[in-house]
Structure 1
Amino acid sequence: MKTLLILRHAEAGHSFTGDDHARTLTERGPSQARQVGRWLAQSQHLPEMTVVSTAMRTRQTCIWINHELGEKAPTPYLDERLYQASSSVLCSVINETPESVHTLLVVAHMPGVQDLSTQLASQDSAEHAVLEMATHWPPAGLAVFTVTKPWAELDGRDAALATFV
């Protein structure tokens, strides 16, 4: 069994220059990301691989998560396809994950993270978690899925949403 962690970046500020890609975290953002890192460490959902959008706010989120994970943090892989990606693009990136990876963390953006999570949630998902995830996905919101099939075959209604943090 594998674990898929889908994370929306922590709270980001507004772009006054029009450069959305360069938006940085707000004062609350690092704290939110560190809380995610602590939760991952305490819950034993330690990522073996992390794939991150190239946007500044997602990279900063990953830095603060890895700060909390310390030596257990994998080196993040920056993937430009994740910047403002649709659910289908996010899924295709996940499909490329090597089968040797048992826990994958994806750090990306709304609405793609929510759309993909809604698409992946199987009938075996925790109903309360699905309702919460589908109605309100705050900054640093994290969906935790259990996956039983190969990464390359993941496409829809085939991962159980265990919890939404």
Structure 2
Amino acid sequence: MTLRLILTRHAKSSWDDPLITDRERPLNRRGRASAAALGRWLAGSGMRPDQALVSAAERTRETWEIVKREAGFNVKADHSPALYLSEPDTMLSILKGATGQVVMLIAHNPGISFFARSILETPRLDSLYDRYPTGATAVIDFDADSWDAIGWRSGTLAAFEVPRHLIEEEAKAATEAALTASGAETDTPVSV
């Protein structure tokens, strides 16, 4: 059986209010747009989690809620305080307790970038993956019957996306659609 992990770093958060704690920081406008783009990408790619493990921080919870809304997921998240700024070993331990076949895990850097590199059988060698920027999402497959059976260097990367790329692609597609629509109108013969 194949298990699938959708590993997401929270979207871009706001630093506007110096009086709130790090845990309480919400997403900023760019982060909300990025989370929405991730949700549309996941839905369009047919990647639907049946379990969500989400850090208890506001920015991870908000990322999940926007992704869930945009993708039309009907999954309740397990909000885990242990995932807040967690180390890779903590993430692996929490993941080993998962029960879904497709699990989405939303957490923070630097732990998530180390986790993303260490969980792959063959690590991806590029700086974008290594940095794991806000909103970065890796889809990782495991040839295992239960999450308890996975370990370091056991996953295969199926996909990797960052919101900036998704938003650029959506804008490009919208521009092409608008040009096509306007070109269709100008190609229509005019009767006199």
Q: TM-score, normalised by structure 1?
A: 0.90
Q: Which amino acid aligns with 1:24?
A: P
Q: Does 1:52 align with 2:51?
A: no
1:96 counterpart residue number:
97
4+ runs of 1 displaced by more than 3 Å? none
Aligned length: 158
Give 1:136 deviation, angstroms.
2.6
Specify the SS of the correspondent of 1:28: helix
For residues 72-97 of structure 1, give each alpha carbon's deviation from its aligned partner in whole angstroms, at most 9, with x where no partner exists.
Answer: 33111111110000000000000001
User: 1:18 deviation in Å?
Assistant: 5.7
Q: d(CA) in 2 for partners of 1:133 and 1:164?
A: 10
Partner of 2:3: 2
Determine what percentage of the aligned residue pairs are the same residue. 26
Q: 1:82: which partner in 2?
A: 83
Structure 2: how far apart are the matches of 1:102 and 1:4?
8
Aligned Cα RMSD in Å?
1.5
SS of residue matched to 1:47? coil
Instruction: Quote the offset at 1:153 in angstroms.
Output: 2.0
1:140 maps onto 2:141 in alignment:
no
Question: Is 1:162 aligned with 2:158?
Answer: yes
- Alpha-carbon distance in 1 for matches of 2:131, 2:158: 17
- Structure 2 gaps of 5+ residues are 162-192
CA distance in 2, matches of 1:9, 1:85: 13
**Does the Cα contact within 8 Å between 1:114 and 1:133 map onto a contact in 2?**
no
Structure number with larger C-alpha Rg = 2
Identify the match of residue 28 of structure 1 among 23, 27, 30: 30
CA contact (8 A) 2:117 2:130 kept: no
8 Å CA contact 1:8–1:140 kept in 2: the answer is yes
TM-score between the two structures when normalised by the length of structure 2: 0.78
Deviations 1:118-157 (A, max 9, x none): 111113x6x4xx5255433111100110111221022200
* Aligned amino acid, residue 21 of structure 2: D
8 Å Cα contact 1:47-1:73 kept in structure 2: no
- Letter matched to residue 8 of structure 1: R
Against the structure 1 CA distance between its residues 133 and 157, is the aligned structure 2 distance closer, same or farther, given a 3 Å change threshold?
Answer: farther
- Structure 1: 5+ residue stretches without partners: none
Output one character per residue of 1:27-76: Cα deviation in whole Å (capped at 9) or x when no partner. 11111001111111011111110010000000110110011122x33111
Partner Cα separation in structure 2 for residue 110 and residue 73 of structure 1:
27
